[in-house]
Chains A and B, each alone.
Chain A
């Protein structure tokens, strides 16, 4: 009996030990996150995990929001998401999260399209179909600011992204805000004009790999392995030598090399850690996160009980925005810095 319990104890204990070294990362299909799928397929992630003596399982989740919810509920240690969703879903849900990799920003990948009208100011009084509370909604709000309109000047119709293109073909839909590849498809239709896009607010819609802060603190090896793998993949997908990699990523996202390159053209990819660090360490990031927090607060995304936009502290190299005693979202440049210094 004693021996049995000892055996059980050892088994349980060793299982626990092994569990601490196994991590799960999720991602969903989007131009800036396809590299994770490629890196997992090519064994680049495994290679870096082995280097640091850990195991990393990379899981693709078909539904973007579902992937963030899974991460927020604790099902994954890290997940890909935009800066806005990282603030409003895990961080607002009390899960202390860190932006480990700042991968790219949308530089035209998100846009507002009008049917038959050529200027954003014409949007006044129209119904606008978009995924409510998404970055499209944020982009629209920023666009309206720029022409002196407010959201009360139009009607927002929440429309599922899966049905956006079909919806646009109907007569009663005259204005949409959406992202690529849907955006390209819609702009390509007759009499359709892109009146505002994310290249007019560069660096505000940022695609990240977000990691559980506690897990990262306890397991720096995970951070190093993920960042190391990321920049190896970045190196493998650039220029002419990266054609094979980009073709694979394009096919995995349901298009081809040309289609994927077209999406990359409207995405400012940070191929090097230095480029990513320049944005992460900038004062501009602080301003962006303030806009995002204010937008989120105005739309009730920080909780109805939130007193102001700063209820959730956001720690950035350029300084903290909001409540310093309630920091739930951090931009941590240290791992990308290690990559820049060649210390991984």
Chain B
């Protein structure tokens, strides 16, 4: 008999096994939802799939009765703008800080301990301070995301820079390169792919900070809507929003991964 660790599922079986938990979860949901709805047809906790579909249609494909906007898309657009700006700022800052502190021992000595300490401050605890300093508008939401993930990216970039073999730097110097040439031509091309990986990992935290900031004060956004309708337990809206956020997060991940593959062909582990 084959040992368990040597049993490899054939490709069709693999697809089946991958889908199985999802199907089971949906089934479990439908059974529990039916049970609750049989007892109370107006139950809001576990709405039926038909009810959820109706709500999605209303919020995504019909203009809202009060504001005339397509709420679902308005929410998505403003949340993605905030997240996009926040992550862009964090990635830029993180790259610069990481590259400089990683490449120059003087800066490492001066800034590294500070960076470590800053990265240990829980950003959500800073939320009240951010709101007082930056106001309640868009700025403070973007700042929270940026503040939240910059230290992580910066430390990762720093490490990536330091991991580049010393020999390469020596070689570049024997060819007459100066510091800025080494940073642009030797370090940057090798660190950029790592930046994208780092951003992929930081996206999860980015979403967390986005939703937290929208829960505090906002007029639109995915997190805003969830926290607003939570007031009357509209699970038929909350569940699709959660699924949508998950899907968006997944799409970003795929996008970043393929961007990494296309933009930085020289840095693919398969290629080595």
Contact = CB atoms under 8 A, between A and B. Distances in A.
A209 B219 CA distance: 32
Contacts of B216: 159-160, 163
A166 interface: yes
A166 B131 contact: yes
B109 interface: no
A259 interface: no
Contacts of A305: 54
B217 A93 contact: no
Contacts of A167: 131, 136, 217
B231 A89 contact: yes
Given A129-B217, A172-B137, A158 B227 contact: yes
A304 B60 CA distance: 14
B136 A173 contact: yes
A156 interface: yes
Sort chain A's interface into a size bin: 35 or more
A132 B228 contact: yes
Contacts of B128: 163, 166
A93 B136 contact: no
A67 interface: no
A158 B224 contact: yes
Interface in B19-53: 40-45
Given A93-B42, A159-B217, A133 B224 contact: no
Main secondary structure of the interface of A (DSSP, over half): loop
Interface in B118-171: 127-128, 131-132, 135-137
B231 A65 contact: yes
B56 to A, nearest CB: 12
A133 B232 contact: yes
Nearest to B217: A159
A163 B44 contact: no
Contacts of A170: 131-132, 135-136
B55 A304 contact: yes
A155 interface: yes
B261 interface: no
Contact of A159 (B127, B132, B136, B231): B136
B205 interface: no
Contacts of B2: none
A342 B127 CA distance: 53
Interface in A281-328: 298-301, 304-305, 328
A300 B231 contact: no
Contacts of A160: 215-217, 227
Interface in A140-192: 155-160, 163, 166-167, 169-173
Contacts of B58: 304
B233 interface: yes
A134 B232 CA distance: 10
Interface of B: 40-45, 54-55, 58, 65-66, 127-128, 131-132, 135-137, 215-219, 224, 227-228, 230-233
15 contacts: A69-B230, A72-B45, A92-B42, A93-B233, A94-B40, A94-B41, A94-B42, A133-B232, A156-B219, A157-B136, A158-B217, A158-B219, A160-B215, A160-B227, A166-B132
Closest 3 CB pairs of A and B: A94-B42, A93-B44, A159-B217
Given A95-B42, A304-B58, 14 more contacts: A65-B231, A72-B44, A89-B231, A92-B44, A94-B43, A129-B217, A133-B232, A158-B218, A159-B217, A160-B215, A160-B217, A163-B131, A300-B66, A305-B54
